[in-house]
Structure 1
Amino acid sequence: MDWKEIRGNWVVIPANPIGIIHFLGGAFVATAPHLTYRGLLENIASKGYVIIATPFVNTLDHIAIAQTTLLNFDRTLERLQDSGELRKLYLPTYGIGHSMGCKLHLLIGSLYSVERAGNILISFNNFTAKEAIPLVEQLNSSFAIEFTPTPLETDQLVQKQYQIRRNLLIKFSNDNLDQSATLTKILQTRFPEMVTVQTLPGNHTTPLGQDIKWQTGNSFTPFDAVGQWFKQEVYRDLNQLKRSMLLWLNPLSAP
């Protein structure tokens, strides 16, 4: 895949695009999403989706991060259209977030007027600063340090103002960081019958898995058979995640 850095975003443009993905990763792996989420994002791009992955550095002000990532996405999309790299025709735009990236997409969908065909929210968590940064109290014990908005304020904001009607929430069977339960209730109350929830095998780091391109020789050897088996076993959870996401994005497809 040919990744390009455009206005601070990492972009992949397939030959005949059928949609656009704005991707936001987890708090500590979001600075280089084209590397940390490469296997997942390239697979989605191979099915016809333009990938615009926006890096960010985590701070306490999550509203500021949401605003900046949206602005960077909009600027990059405009540049792609003005340069002719992406034709100026309507393509559905989806948000995909992992971990903290989910919270940012929720804030974007609650605070700003955006056109989204839907959001995929993977391993959502909404920790307090104390939970997310164990050393925060030691760093400055004289002040109460907290994210903006707080976890409670985030829930209330989504409950009142979130505008993206179609959502897929994905949680993993072995993920003790996931906090999708409360969000699921909020979204299902706000948009009945428009929210899909899936529990898949895996853990919080499953989306970070990297797919190995196993090349066989001129003849298929027992070593190649072992390699193929190893790949299938190790990446089974990641492949299941890819299939679920692609089927939700395009129910008529058979990924």
Structure 2
Amino acid sequence: MGKVKVIAHRGASADAPENTLAAVTLAFDHGADFVEIDVRRTLDGELVVIHDPTLQRTTDVLRVFPGRARYDVAGFTLAEIRALDAGSWFGPGFAGERVPTLRAVLAALAGRAGLLLEVKDPASAPGIAGDLRSVLDAAGWLGEAPAGRLVVQSADWTFVEEFHLLLPEVPVGLLGGPPPPPEIDGAAGWAHCINPKNTKVTAALVRRVHGGGMVLWPYTVDNPRRMRELIQLGADGIITNRPALAAEVLAGSARRRFAWLRRLWPISKASR
């Protein structure tokens, strides 16, 4: 098994407001190999990075735009969304953080970490696969796909397969489930990874995913004991809100493995 990847869920979201540039920057400062983000489309067709379908939980939209009938991301223009504070809800030190565009996140990550890009509710945004292609291409990220720096995932598995047909050079992941064994076997020819809820991971699931030539990145794991259990089961990555903790756990696991190997094959002075 190769190096287990640390994947920062919505950035370093235990320590900074999720899906903001502050969380993204902190994630690779904390040792993340990949940053996971969520993408939605605005009323005027721009791609922004936000998890929820509505704006209330992570912005001050009720203060800035009182009296709106609805507060869906899809019902606001990019200019309106840029007027919102996406940091104060998390803490006063993050006041003024904005909902970033996908373009801004791609620029921040370039050359620093990989990207696990989740497309939220693609069925409600027809044509979003083409929008993604345009933004990724303009930012130079499609050329990075073969190097393993970009993975596109969604809980909508039909969309994932359609995206793969549109851009077969970009690795894709199936989120949730996990899929039943026949679907895992069927995905083996085109999917890069299976990303299930961490409580659903079993040794049998890991074997099946690996047998299909895919990797397993379970979510969302913030407990160090569970991180170690998943590493022992053979998970290829850990999706976590706490990338610094995951990096520390992985380093400890590597040290323990090295010590175990040293006990099996002690290095004598004569052999040095």
TM-score by length of 2: 0.34
Over alpha carbons, which structure has the higher Rg?
A: 2
Q: Which has the higher contact order (CA 8 A, sep 6+)?
A: 2
